[in-house]
A and B are shown apart, each in its own frame.
Chain A
Amino acid sequence: MMLEVKNLHVYYGSIHALKGINFHVDKGEVVALIGANGAGKSTTLSTISGLLQPAEGNVIFQGEDITLTPAEQTVQKGVVQVPEGRKIFATLTVMENLEMGAYTQRDKNQFKQDLEYVFTLFPRLKERQKQLGGTFSGGEQQMLAMARALMSSPTMLLLDEPSMGLSPILVEQIFEIVQSINKKGTSILLVEQNAQMALSIADRAYVLETGEIKLEGSAQEVLHNPTVIEAYLGGH
């Protein structure tokens, strides 16, 4: 098992945001975590990456307990979060953003390889290396954010709402790239409101509702579950 989350409880002040959730991601899998706004999806990712600390429960990555590992050390263990809303460094150039992503990378050759890899995934970034990140459109920013995360050669990628605010064509492009990243061996935990899209590329899925996991199964099972269709897929 790549990643295992056990009985995770997280509070924001007095708000009980996660009420003891359990799930896991196997090696090489794409796992989708779907649910409405405020269900606790981003909270889950931030707790795994170490930005938030749980009141109870454990996060286990490759057999190691990383529950209390701070964010800057989680990266070095191979888990990287692409935060909601891209959060690229607007006043840094594209190249500087990518170098930031490789902050923990000490190996010069690996850096060059990773750079080449993200430039083949996102050719547009190569053309615009010297441009400031803040001048990019939403789709380009999403690509930059993903490229930046890949620069640390992660074993596991946590994607938070990559489709947010993007046109359907761009969403499709982004998800194709997610699939190709996965094919290269990176496990992916994908948080999405766009359930249809997420389920189309996921191996398995969990449905999160007000801090609890309400449903789990293979992507196909979840896709054809009547409650999911009713609540997240527009009732078709």
Chain B
Amino acid sequence: MNRFAGTVNLRELLRPVGQMLVFSLASSVVLSLIVIVLALIMDQTVVGETLLARSKVSLLTYTLVNLPQVILDGLTIGFVYAAIALGYTMVYGVLEFINFAHSEIFAVGAFVGVELLIVLQIYGMLEGGSLIGAYTWLIIAILAGMIGAGLLAISVERVAYRPLRGAPRLVPLISAIGVSFFLQDAIRLIESLTTGQFHRIIPTFGNFDERLTFGQIPIGDSVIALGIQVKSIIVIIAAVLMLVGLNYLVNATKVGRAIRAVAQDRATASLMGIDVNRIISLTFLVGGALGGAAGVLYALKFTRIDPFVGFFPGLKAFTAAVLGGIGNLTGALLGGIILGMLETFSGTYMSAFTMGAAGAEYKDIFAFAILILVLIFRPHGLMGENVAQKA
């Protein structure tokens, strides 16, 4: 069927990897420089003196020592945001509407994966096995989350959006918000009927909670261990694989060309013989599957999930998509990484820089302040097309 079967477009495989490296490096460098400069300045003030008196460490040392960890954590959460953001941006690309139910599709993916692992644990399948076994189960759980979320996304489109295709733009938006509430309560209902509790904890198995340490740095009275959790590595690798796969699908396959054609002009795409409804379903399937995988990865990283687990990651990912330029896949990637980094940087350093007055709980202020600034100066996002040019 595919006339290019057999030839792999290497460029489209390498390009997103390069982009991810550039975005990750650039955001790390920029944010690191900012905090280092801030630390240098504040070391001379009462902020630095207080920290020195309390922990016997200068603000600069504190900043530098925490930096590697912050960057790694920022990337981990950034890639999760990027994977969710791609779902928003793909649907926006083909239908020009925000699928607000995507956060719940993410949550359903998380629940499917976690429940599967819990069942496996009950049957004793997770215990004592080899590492290969543990990774196999994890991959199966991620795939299950992808399938569950992908199929759910298709059904939501079919039931709640397709009948409203010709309606004014606000109507499917309201429908999406309705679906979002409906799914939250559906998860609650199913969980309370079957397990009697809303909070589910991902089982501990394999070596995912172990920390790989690279060394130790003593500061003041305490010692800080430099390292990364195995599960963070898994999250980053899984997200990178998905992002590369999606980029390949969209930019180097026949189906991807059809998706781009439909995104540009539905009527003309149908004149080419493209079944527009099928392509739209496919877009929801792919976006939903990415969201579902992100859900399982999120559960792996943060262990506990509840029916409302999708709300904040969903909101952040939506923000990331807008920040990068909604409708643009590379933009979603960039937005996700920037948002994850900003969040982790401010979460870590805000407390020290303000002498504890504003702690990590204020971290989202930065992320959203940046969003507002970007939108004031670039209303179409960092990489978005100018809407006027499109018309």
Task: Point out residues on A near B: beta carbons under 8 Å.
Answer: 49-51, 70-73, 75-76, 80-81, 83, 87, 89-92, 96, 99-101, 103-104, 106, 108, 111, 148, 152
Choice from A51, A73, A101, A108 contacting B267 with Cβ under 8 Å: A51
For the complex of A and B, list the 10 residue pairs with the smallest distance between their C-beta atoms, beginning with the closest: A75-B273, A104-B273, A71-B270, A87-B268, A103-B273, A103-B272, A72-B270, A72-B275, A100-B272, A72-B273
Among B13-21, B40-48, B176-184, B253-261, which stretch is in contact with chain A? B253-261
Residues of A within 8 A of B267 (CB): 51, 71, 83, 87
On whether the beta carbons of B257 and A72 are closer than 8 Å, the reply is: no
> Cβ of B116 < 8 Å from any Cβ of A?
no
Q: Can you identify 16 A-B contacts, CB atoms within 8 angstroms?
A: A51-B267, A70-B270, A71-B267, A72-B270, A75-B271, A75-B273, A83-B267, A83-B268, A87-B267, A87-B271, A91-B260, A92-B257, A92-B261, A103-B273, A103-B274, A152-B273
> Cβ of B276 < 8 Å from any Cβ of A?
yes
On whether the beta carbons of A83 and B273 are closer than 8 Å, the reply is: no
Q: Which residue of B lies closest to A49 (CB)?
A: B271
> Cβ of B264 < 8 Å from any Cβ of A?
yes
Contact (A101, B3) CB under 8 Å given A89-B260, A91-B260, A96-B257: no
Residues of B within 8 A of A91 (CB): 260, 264
On whether the beta carbons of A100 and B257 are closer than 8 Å, the reply is: yes
CA distance A83 to B273 in the complex (A): 14
Q: Known pairs A51-B270, A92-B261, A100-B269. 12 more at Cβ < 8 A?
A: A49-B271, A50-B270, A71-B267, A73-B273, A83-B271, A87-B267, A96-B257, A100-B258, A103-B273, A103-B274, A104-B272, A106-B1
Instruction: Tell me, rounded to whole Å, the shortest Cβ–Cβ distance linking A178 to chain B.
Output: 18
Q: Which residue of A lies closest to B390 (CB)?
A: A90
Instruction: Tell me, rounded to whole Å, the shortest Cβ–Cβ distance linking B94 to chain A.
Output: 13
Q: What bracket does the count of chain B residues touching chain A fall in? A: 10 to 19
Chain A proximity mask over B250-290: 1 for CB below 8 Å, otherwise 0: 00001001101100110111111111100000000000000
Residues of A within 8 A of B257 (CB): 92, 96, 99-100
Task: Point out residues on B near A: beta carbons under 8 Å.
Answer: 1, 3, 254, 257-258, 260-261, 264-265, 267-276
Instruction: Tell me, rounded to whole Å, the shortest Cβ–Cβ distance linking A109 to chain B.
Output: 10
CA distance A104 to B254 in the complex (A): 11
Q: Which residue of B lies closest to A107 (CB)?
A: B3
CA distance A192 to B126 in the complex (A): 71
Choice from B1, B265, B273 contacting A89 with Cβ under 8 Å: B265
CA distance A106 to B1 in the complex (A): 6
Residues of A within 8 A of B269 (CB): 100
Number of A-B contacts defined by CB within 8 Å = 65
Q: Which residue of B lies closest to A76 (CB)?
A: B273
Instruction: Tell me, rounded to whole Å, the shortest Cβ–Cβ distance linking B252 to chain A.
Output: 11
On whether the beta carbons of A101 and B264 are closer than 8 Å, the reply is: no
Q: Which residue of B lies closest to A108 (CB)?
A: B3
On whether the beta carbons of B272 and A75 are closer than 8 Å, the reply is: yes
CA distance A103 to B273 in the complex (A): 6
Instruction: Tell me, rounded to whole Å, the shortest Cβ–Cβ distance linking B273 to chain A.
Output: 4
CA distance A81 to B273 in the complex (A): 11
CA distance A111 to B2 in the complex (A): 12
Residues of B within 8 A of A80 (CB): 271
On whether the beta carbons of A92 and B268 are closer than 8 Å, the reply is: no
On whether the beta carbons of A87 and B273 are closer than 8 Å, the reply is: no
Residues of A within 8 A of B270 (CB): 50-51, 70-72
Residues of B within 8 A of A87 (CB): 265, 267-268, 271
Residues of B within 8 A of A81 (CB): 271
Residues of A within 8 A of B254 (CB): 99, 103
Q: Which residue of B lies closest to A85 (CB)?
A: B268
Residues of B within 8 A of A100 (CB): 257-258, 261, 269, 272, 274
Q: Which residue of B lies closest to A81 (CB)?
A: B271
Q: Which residue of B lies closest to A112 (CB)?
A: B3
CA distance A149 to B271 in the complex (A): 9
On whether the beta carbons of A148 and B272 are closer than 8 Å, the reply is: yes
Instruction: Tell me, rounded to whole Å, the shortest Cβ–Cβ distance linking A154 to chain B.
Output: 11
Residues of B within 8 A of A92 (CB): 257, 260-261, 264
Q: Which residue of B lies closest to A93 (CB)?
A: B257
Residues of A within 8 A of B274 (CB): 72, 100, 103
Q: Which residue of A lies closest to B260 (CB)?
A: A92
Instruction: Tell me, rounded to whole Å, the shortest Cβ–Cβ distance linking B346 to chain A.
Output: 36
Instruction: Tell me, rounded to whole Å, the shortest Cβ–Cβ distance linking B186 to chain A.
Output: 34
Most buried by A among B254, B258, B264, B265: B264
